[in-house]
Amino acid sequence: MTADPNRELLEIARRIAVAAGELAAARRAAGVEVAASKSSPEDVVTFADREVEQFIRRSLAEARPNDGFFGEESIDSASAGTSGLTWVVDPIDGTVNYLYGIPAYNISIAVVEGEPDPQTWRPLAGCVVNPVLGEVFTATDARGAHLGTKPLHVNPPVDLSQALVATGFGYNSDVRVKQGLVLAGLIGQVRDIRRIGAAALDLCYLAAGRYDAYYERGLNPWDHAAGALIAAEAGARVSGFGQAAAGRDFTLAAEPLLAALLEPIIRTLFDEAGL
């Protein structure tokens, strides 16, 4: 039997993500210290973010020395590699949750074919680990998504009024105000809104049927590389507006019929809010 190369890539991602989660959890138990702010004073990075990414990068280099690396905490030193594959990594997604001890943070590792650009890449495998809950979400291209060994499937179609919708907000306060206007326009049309502050988990929770839909603007490649593959392999439509791929401009993930209902509504609300 011929080995599945994507399965082999997934096993590497899973092994390293679980170990990285154990390291992040140990550092959280020992106490978290802010290392710096990034895009705004609210957008923080901890010393643990940097240490966990260094661990992941070193581990991937040992396992796959010819692959590229693109991580949140080392953008300036991203490497292209020679294999045509790139690992896209968020060492601790949900850093503010991590800082406050909220059990909704994760390690996200994906491997894509091509450049680390959501508009052009082809995701091959991804793993998202919540070390607090011990949940390991995985997917490979065209092979489905799983939580542990359990296959994942998005919820069946629901009326818009019954849809539980998740979202996230940017770090810039002016942007958050506009996102709040979008939320105010949407919340009366759906069952309710959830916001946990970790995009990869949002996408995985959608895949697991814990939400009916998820949308957000401002996601970076590492925020959704693994989670978007997991959601798509669970049956979600994951896209931007129109024919665009999911990315920084917009990401919507939902069962396809529900996504078709939500997209024009959210687009109109974005326009009205000036986003």
pLDDT value, residue 81 = 86
Q: Whose CA is closest to 109, among 131, 90, 84?
A: 90
Cβ(17)–Cβ(111) below 8 Å: no
Q: Which domains does the chain have, with CATH numbers?
A: 5-151 (3.30.540.10), 160-273 (3.40.190.80)
pLDDT digits (tens, 9 = 90+) for 7-17: 999 999 999 99
Rounded Cα gap, residues 16 and 58, in angstroms: 10
Q: How confident is the model at residue 141 (pLDDT cuts 50, 70, 90)?
A: very high
pLDDT digits (tens, 9 = 90+) for 110-120: 999 998 899 99
pLDDT digits (tens, 9 = 90+) for 43-97: 456 788 899 999 999 999 999 999 999 998 876 666 788 999 999 999 999 999 9
Helix 199-207 and helix 221-233, axial crossing angle in degrees, nearest 10: 0
pLDDT value, residue 129 = 98
Pick 37 or 185 by higher pLDDT: 185
Rounded Cα gap, residues 12 and 60, in angstroms: 8
pLDDT value, residue 42 = 45
pLDDT value, residue 2 = 46
pLDDT value, residue 37 = 53
pLDDT digits (tens, 9 = 90+) for 181-219: 999 999 999 999 999 999 999 999 999 999 999 999 999
| Binding site as annotated, residues for Mg(2+) | 72, 90, 92-93, 223
pLDDT digits (tens, 9 = 90+) for 147-165: 999 999 999 999 999 999 9
| Binding site as annotated, residues | 72, 90, 92-93, 223
Indicate the pTM of the whole model: 0.94
